Amino acid sequence: MNRKQRRAQQKSGPARAQPPGASVQALFAAACGHHQAGSLAAAEALYRQVLAQDPRHLESQHLLGVIANQQGRHQEAIALIGKAIALNDKAAPLHLNMATALWRAGQRDQALASYQRGLALQPNLAGAYNDMGMLLSELGRTEEALAAWRRAVELKPDLPEAHDNLGSGLRQAGQWEDSAAAHRRALELQPNFVGARYNLGNVLHDLGRLEEATACFRQVIALKPDLAEAHTNLGLLLRELGCPEEAVASCRRAIALQPGNAQAYNNLGTALEQLARPEEAETNYRKAIALAPDMAEAYSNLGNTLQRLGRREEVLACYRKALALEPDYTDAGSNLQMGLHYGAGSSPEQSLTEARRFAAGVERFAPPKHANVPDPERRLRIGYVSANFYRHPIGYFLLPSLACHDCDQFELFCYSNNPCVDDLTRQMQGAAEHWRSLMGVRDEQAAALIMADGIDILVDLSGHTERNRLPLFARKAAPVQASWLGYWATTGLSTIDYILSDRVTVPPGEERWYSEEVVRLEGGRFCYAPPDYAAEPAAQPPSVRNGTVTFGSFNNLAKVGPEVMRLWPSVLEAVPGSRLLVKWLSLVEEATRARVTAMFAEAGIAADRLELRSGTPHREMLAEYGDVDVALDTFPFSGGLTSCEALWMGVPVVTLPRQNAPSRQTLGFLQAIGKPEWAASSPEDYVRIAAALAADESHRAALRRQLRPLMAASPLCDAPLFTRRLEAAYRQIWRRWCAVQTRQA
C-alpha cells in the first residue's frame, strides 16, 4: 500500500462492521466504496465476505485480484483474476487487468495475449491500446507499438498519455519530426505534463535544435525542480552549446538531488573536459563507472581524458573495455583508432587491422543502386561530410578549396554534423552551393538525402576523429566515396574507395597499410589560408630581449608522451640557460600544471626553466609566437595547423618524422616551403638541429622576416593551384567509375 492509499484509508476510517446476514449486494457496495477510497485492507475483507456467501461472485473475485496487484502480490493477482475469467471469459476488463498483473509479474508474452483478448472483446478502449503499446515497445516490437498508440489517439484524441507514448515510439523509430509533433500535441492537451515536456526536450536534442531543447528542460525544471534527470540532460546540452560553466552547475545539481546518478557524473566529466580540466574530469568518469560498471560511454570518455593526460598505457584498455561492454559502440571504436596513433608502440599494420575490425561492425548493408549518369566530363556533385565546418583546423584547411572551386565543373554540397556556427562557417556556407545539416539525422535517412541530392563523389573529412559519420559511409550513399583532410590513416572501410593524400604522408610502398586506394595530390594534401587577423611576426626573436633562447610548443598536450619527454630535456640541456614555453588549454588547471612540472622535474628540468600557459583567443595565441625562438614539434603525432601557424608567425619548427603517417605532417609543410633541413633523421639529429637554430640568432632574426613570404609563395598557400589539383583528382576517380559502368553495361 502506497502513501496515497494509506492516507485515503486513514481519511475513510476503518471498515464498518456489516450487520449479520447483510446481503451480498450490501457487502459488495460497501467493499467498492472502500476500494474507491483507497482503503484496500477494508475492501479486501468485505470482498472475501461476499465470496464466503457467494463463491461465484464474479466481481468480488475479480476485484480481489485487482487489490492483490495494487499491493504488489502479482502471482496471487493472476490466480484470483484467473478464477474470475473461469467464471466469465467474455468480460474484457478481466482480461485487461490480467494483462496488467502478468506484465508486472514479468510474464510479458502472456500479458500481451491478455491485452489482445480483452481488446478483441471490447475494441474501443483507448487506454488499453495505450497500455498495450507500452508493453509492445518493451518487447522491442516498435511498429506494433506505434500502431497501438495510433489506435489509442484515434479512439480518444484528447488522451495526452497516448500522444506522449506515440512520440516516444516515433523517436525510437528515428522519426524525430513526427515524434516532436506528438509530444507537442500531448502538451497542448496538458500543458504541465512534465513527462511529455521532458521527452520533447530529448527529441529536440536528437534533432540538433539545442536552444529549443535547452528551453524545454528549463521548463521541466520549473515544473519539477527535483527531477535530477532534467538537470543531467540540461548539463549535457549546455556543454554542447559552449556553456561549460553552466553545464557543470547543472550536473552538480543533478548529483545533489540523486547521488547515484551515474549519467550526471559522466556528463559532468565532459563539461569539465571542455573547460580543460582533465584531472577533475577523470575523477567524475571514475565515479560514473563505480556507480554503473557497465556504462560503456564512461569508459570511452575516460579513455579520451587519459589520452589528454598522456597516460597512454591505460587509454587503449579503456576503449577496449567500452567495446567489450557495447560491441556496436562506434564512437569507442573510432577512439581506439585515434589512440593507436599517439603512441610509438603502434604500427601501421596494427592500425589497419583494428580499422578493418571496426569496418566489419558497420559494413552490414548491401550497396544501393545509384542512378548517377556515367558521363565522365559532366558537371559533378561533390559532397563533403564533416563536423568541423567552423574555426577548427579542418575548417581552416578546407575553406581555400571551397572558395576557389570551379563552379562550372563542380557543384558543392556540405553536410554538417555539428551545430556550431561561427564566422568561418558562414564563409563556407557562402562558398558552397548547398548546405545540409545532419544533426539528428540517422544514417539511413542521411544516406537517402545524399542519394536524393545526386552526389557523385562523397568525401569524408573526419576519418575516425570526433563526431565522424563513418557508419553513414558504410551505406555507400554515393557511387564514389573518398576520405581526405581530417584523417591521415586508413578508415578500414571497403565502401570508401579512395584516400586523398600525398607522397610525404604515404610514401611509395606504404599503400599496403590502407584499405582505400591511395591518390596522391601533387604538392601535398593541405592548403593553408592564414587568418587575416594574424599580426606581423615579431621584428626580433625573443632571445634579443630575454638574453636566452626560448623553445616552445603550442601542441595538444596529448601529443606530449614519453617519447617527447625523453627528448625535449635533451634539447634544453644542449642549450644552456634555455627555457621551454608550453601552451595548451588544459594548463589552466593547477593539477595539470603540477603534473607537467613534475614530468620535467623527473627528467632533470627545473620548474624555473618552464613557462606554462593556458588557452587564449586565436588572435592572441598567434601573437604569442613572438615569445618563441624555436618551435619543437611533437612525435609520433606531429603538429598540423599548429606547425603551419608557427611557421606563418616566423618561427622555425623542428620535427622528427617516424614510420606512422601523422608523424610526417610537419615534414610535408617544411618540404612545401623549402625547409626540409628542419626535419630530423633521429632523436640525436633533432637535438642537433634545435641547438643549431638556437645558436644562430641572426639567422633566426632573418627567418622572422623571410618565413611568411616564403610560405605565401609556396604551394602550401596557393589555393587556386591546390584546388585545381584536388578537382583534377576528383575528375580522375570519376572517369574511372564511368569506365567501369561502361564495361559492365
Q: What is each CA distance from 734 to 317, 378, 455, 478, in whole angstroms?
A: 41, 10, 12, 11
Q: Which of 614, 652, 656 is nearest to 634 (CA)?
A: 656
Lowest mean pLDDT across 18-22, 128-132, 510-514, 689-693:
18-22
Domain that holds residue 686: 543-717
**Distance separating alpha carbons of residues 629 and 429, to the nearest angstrom:** 38
Residue at 259 is within a domain: no
In the 8-state DSSP scheme, what is residue 384? E
Q: What mean pLDDT do residues 16-43 have?
A: 82
Residue at 146 is within a domain: no
Residue 3: band (very low, low, confident or very high) from pLDDT cuts 50, 70, 90: very low
Q: Which of 704, 725, 719, 727 is nearest to 530 (CA)?
A: 719
Are 453 and 575 found together in one domain? no
Are 673 and 560 found together in one domain? yes
List pLDDT tens digits, range 76-90: 999 999 999 999 999
List pLDDT tens digits, range 485-518: 999 999 999 999 999 999 999 999 999 999 999 9
Residue at 666 is within a domain: yes
Percent of the chain with pLDDT over 70: 97
With residue 458 as reference, give the H or E element that holds it.
Answer: strand 457-460
CA contacts within 13 A on the Cβ side of 464: 26
pLDDT, position 15: 42
- pLDDT above 50 (res 565): yes
- pLDDT above 90 (res 687): yes
Q: What is each CA distance from 351 to 24, 310, 334, in whole angstroms?
A: 80, 19, 11
21: number of Cβ within 10 Å: 7
Question: How many angstroms from the chain centroid is the CA of residue 502?
Answer: 30
Domain stops at, among 520, 551, 581: 520
List pLDDT tens digits, range 632-668: 999 999 999 999 999 999 999 999 999 889 999 999 9
CATH number, residue 674: 3.40.50.2000
3-state secondary structure of 298: helix
- pLDDT above 50 (res 306): yes
Cell numbers placing 66: 485487482
CATH number, residue 349: 1.25.40.10
Write down the mean pLDDT value for the chain.
94
- pLDDT above 90 (res 1): no
Residue at 9 is within a domain: no
488 Cβ neighbours under 8 A, 6+ residues apart: 341, 463, 501, 505, 661, 662, 665
**Distance separating alpha carbons of residues 491 and 661, to the nearest angstrom:** 13
Which of 181-186's residues contact partners 24+ apart within 8 Å by CB, and which partners? 185/160, 186/160, 186/161
Q: How many domains are contained in the chain?
A: 3
Lowest mean pLDDT across 296-310, 339-353, 725-739:
339-353
Are 352 and 400 found together in one domain? no
Question: How many angstroms from the chain centroid is the CA of residue 593?
Answer: 28
For residue 313, the one-letter residue type is: E
Q: What mean pLDDT do residues 577-606 have?
A: 93
CATH number, residue 452: 3.40.50.11380
Lowest mean pLDDT across 265-279, 307-321, 479-493:
307-321
Residue 10: band (very low, low, confident or very high) from pLDDT cuts 50, 70, 90: very low
Domain stops at, among 362, 392, 424: 362
Are 605 and 666 found together in one domain? yes
pLDDT, position 345: 67
For residue 742, the one-letter residue type is: T
Are 328 and 435 found together in one domain? no
With residue 42 as reference, give the H or E element that holds it.
Answer: helix 40-53
Residue 13: band (very low, low, confident or very high) from pLDDT cuts 50, 70, 90: very low
Residue with cell 607522397: 503
Are 347 and 425 found together in one domain? no
- pLDDT above 90 (res 14): no
Residue at 331 is within a domain: yes
Are 669 and 547 found together in one domain? yes
Residue at 554 is within a domain: yes
- pLDDT above 80 (res 460): yes
Q: Which of 537, 544, 552, 548 is nearest to 622 (CA)?
A: 537
pLDDT, position 7: 40
Are 389 and 352 found together in one domain? no
Q: What mean pLDDT do residues 146-152 have?
A: 98
pLDDT, position 440: 80
**Distance separating alpha carbons of residues 40 and 662, to the nearest angstrom:** 71
**Distance separating alpha carbons of residues 313 and 730, to the nearest angstrom:** 41
**Distance separating alpha carbons of residues 270 and 331, to the nearest angstrom:** 15
List pLDDT tens digits, range 186-228: 999 999 999 999 999 999 998 889 999 999 999 999 999 999 9
* DSSP H helices in 208-366: 210-223, 228-240, 244-257, 262-274, 278-291, 296-308, 312-325, 330-340, 348-362
Are 685 and 586 found together in one domain? yes
Are 348 and 405 found together in one domain? no
Are 301 and 441 found together in one domain? no
Residue 12: band (very low, low, confident or very high) from pLDDT cuts 50, 70, 90: very low
pLDDT, position 160: 98
Residue at 610 is within a domain: yes
Higher local confidence (pLDDT), 640 or 589: 640
Cell numbers placing 392: 577548427
Are 411 and 483 found together in one domain? yes
In the 8-state DSSP scheme, what is residue 463? T
Residue at 286 is within a domain: yes
> How many degrees, rounded to 5, is the angle at CA 644 between CA 640 and CA 646?
115
Q: What mean pLDDT do residues 222-250 have?
A: 96
Q: What mean pLDDT do residues 418-425 have?
A: 91
E strands, 488-609, are: 498-501, 517-520, 550-553, 579-583
**Distance separating alpha carbons of residues 35 and 437, to the nearest angstrom:** 55
pLDDT, position 441: 87
3-state secondary structure of 101: helix
Domain stops at, among 472, 488, 520: 520
